[in-house]
């Protein structure tokens, strides 16, 4: 049994990860300041004898004794990370420094939840890990993209300079139960709008693409990366290569919900990436991982979740 720290454990991905780690027989310390996460996400874990909740902001130092760290703390949807952009960069950068300092002192493994946003608005399609990206450093998304890029830099420098055992994961758009219905991400927005019969808000002409990974697949990839061979640091893309336009996504959600909602078109936000799709060869080779849940199946489960909470 290991004692594992999950920062951002009260969020969408973090809560699924805490559950998975408990199911594997570990002790879990969930650290969260509940900026975007919710106690509801982990309510069912609070009575678990091996689960501990620690309300704390990762930008401040923490002195704990643990065996592994998963660093997920950071708002992830554009609406939330742009709400207080300075705090977003602080969370990525100071959070990485504090967690790496902790990992260095304890000589333990640490996994970073990085993002496909490090590729910015990519000029290479699909994106392999070797692509260095096209990020606007002064735009409204930079607090997130550059914060995550700086965190990757810190991870690799702590690795080279202090021999910290790191695992860096570049997560592509992920969806599933426990997404926050108000966080503005496309899958949650479209499902909530479809279920309420409200207009479905397509930003731009809806021809931009994303690749959507179901949460269970994502958590499996994360777990395999943490437990991958010594010396394998990543960065490794974890995502589903199925690529869809936002109009296709909207049409699929309308069909699955039987909704009468209509599509309405709204301005495309500044610096919104036009296309995104992971190359997952490295994940297949190193982790024996590939996604199993196709979009339709994952959307059905996600729709069922939103029906239960709306």
Between 27 and 152, CB nearer to ligand NAD: 152
Q: Does 91 bind ligand NAD (CB under 6 A)?
A: yes
Instruction: Pick from 6, 13, 102, 191 the residue near ligand NAD by CB under 6 A.
Output: 13
Instruction: Pick from 62, 173, 188, 275 the residue near ligand NAD by CB under 6 A.
Output: 173
Q: Binds 234, which of ligand NAD, ligand UDP, none (CB < 5 to 8 A, cut-off by type)?
A: none
Work out the angle at residue 85's Cα, subtended by the Cα atoms of residues 150 and 264, and round it to the nearest 5 degrees.
115
Look at residues 69, 146, 139 and name the one whose alpha carbon lies nearest to residue 100. 69
List of residues contacting ligand UDP (CB under 6 A): 61-63, 77-78, 97-98, 101-102, 104-105, 173, 185-186, 189, 201-203, 208, 210, 246, 269, 272
Between 7 and 257, CB nearer to ligand NAD: 7
Q: Does 237 bind ligand NAD (CB under 6 A)?
A: no
Between 267 and 288, CB nearer to ligand UDP: 267
Q: Binds 61, which of ligand UDP, ligand NAD, none (CB < 5 to 8 A, cut-off by type)?
A: ligand UDP
> How many CB atoms sit inside 10 A of residue 142's CB?
20
Torsion, Cα 68 74 76 82, to 10 degrees, reads -170
CB 157, min distance to ligand NAD, A: 19
Identified catalytic residue from 70, 81, 119, 144: 144
Look at residues 204, 211, 214 and name the one whose alpha carbon lies nearest to residue 265. 204
Instruction: Pick from 4, 27, 33, 152 the residue near ligand NAD by CB under 6 A.
Output: 33
Q: Binds 239, which of ligand NAD, ligand UDP, none (CB < 5 to 8 A, cut-off by type)?
A: none
Q: Does 291 bind ligand NAD (CB under 6 A)?
A: no
Instruction: Pick from 18, 66, 69, 76 the residue near ligand NAD by CB under 6 A.
Output: 76
Between 97 and 199, CB nearer to ligand NAD: 97
Return the sign of the alpha-carbon dihedral for residues 108, 81, 208, 139: negative
Q: Binds 269, which of ligand UDP, ligand NAD, none (CB < 5 to 8 A, cut-off by type)?
A: ligand UDP
Instruction: Pick from 4, 21, 27, 32 the residue near ligand NAD by CB under 6 A.
Output: 32
CB 171, min distance to ligand NAD, A: 4
Choices 22-30, 168-176, 191-199, 271-279 (CB under 6 A): range interacting with ligand NAD: 168-176
CB 193, min distance to ligand NAD, A: 19
Active site residue 144: yes
Task: Write out the catalytic residue numbers.
Answer: 144
């Amino acid at each position: 049994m290991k004692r594992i720290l999950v920062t951002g454990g009260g969020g969408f991905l973090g809560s699924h990860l805490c559950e998975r780690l408990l199911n594997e027989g570990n002790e879990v310390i969930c650290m969260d300041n509940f900026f975007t996460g919710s106690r509801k996400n982990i309510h069912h874990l609070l009575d678990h004898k091996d689960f501990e909740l620690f309300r704390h902001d990762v930008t401040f130092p923490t002195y704990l004794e643990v065996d592994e760290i998963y660093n997920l703390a950071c708002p992830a949807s554009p609406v939330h990370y742009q709400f207080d952009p300075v705090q977003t960069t602080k969370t990525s950068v100071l959070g990485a420094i504090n967690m790496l300092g902790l990992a260095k002192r304890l000589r333990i493994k640490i996994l970073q939840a990085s993002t496909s946003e490090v590729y910015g608005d990519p000029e290479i399609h699909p994106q392999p890990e070797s692509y260095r990206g096209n990020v606007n450093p002064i735009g409204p998304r930079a607090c997130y993209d550059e914060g995550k890029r700086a965190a990757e830099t810190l991870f690799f420098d702590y690795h080279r300079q202090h021999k910290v055992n790191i695992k860096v994961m570049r997560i592509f758009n992920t969806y599933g139960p426990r997404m926050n219905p108000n966080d503005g991400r496309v899958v949650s927005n479209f499902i909530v709008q479809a279920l309420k019969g409200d207009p479905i808000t397509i930003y731009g002409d809806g021809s931009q693409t994303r690749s959507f990974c179901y949460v269970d697949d994502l958590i499996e990839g994360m777990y395999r990366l943490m437990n991958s061979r010594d010396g394998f640091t990543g960065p490794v893309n974890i995502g589903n290569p199925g690529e869809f336009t936002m109009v296709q996504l909207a049409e699929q959600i309308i069909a699955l919900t039987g909704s009468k909602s209509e599509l309405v078109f709204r301005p495309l936000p500044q610096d919104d990436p036009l296309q995104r799709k992971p190359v997952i060869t490295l994940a297949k080779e190193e982790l024996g991982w590939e996604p199993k849940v196709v979009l339709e199946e994952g959307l059905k489960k996600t729709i069922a979740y939103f029906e239960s909470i709306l």
